[in-house]
Amino acid sequence: MELIINGEKIRIPEDESTVAELLQHFNLHHKVVIVELNDEILAKENQSETRLSNGDKVEIVHFVGGG
């Protein structure tokens, strides 16, 4: 399916059907990341049960150096 991740169209395998699986796919599951799905912030504990559908807008953010 095709998702819009951080503003870019990205195709991912159909079997990556939840947010947790998506993070695993990109090897981000051990990182401190925050996910927003279709403009709604997703709590960490809901990542494994939240299903993705074609065209979903996903934001994946993290902490970077800043003042």
Q: Site residues (CB under 8 A) for other proteins? A: 5-7, 10, 26-28, 31-34, 36, 41-44, 59-67
Query: Shortest approach of other proteins to residue 15 CB, angstroms?
Result: 18
Query: Shortest approach of other proteins to residue 54 CB, angstroms?
Result: 18
Sign for the CA dihedral angle at 52, 55, 56, 59 comes to positive
Both tokens assigned to 38: 């279709």
Helix (H, G, I), strand (E, B) or coil at 19: helix
Query: Shortest approach of other proteins to residue 23 CB, angstroms?
Result: 9
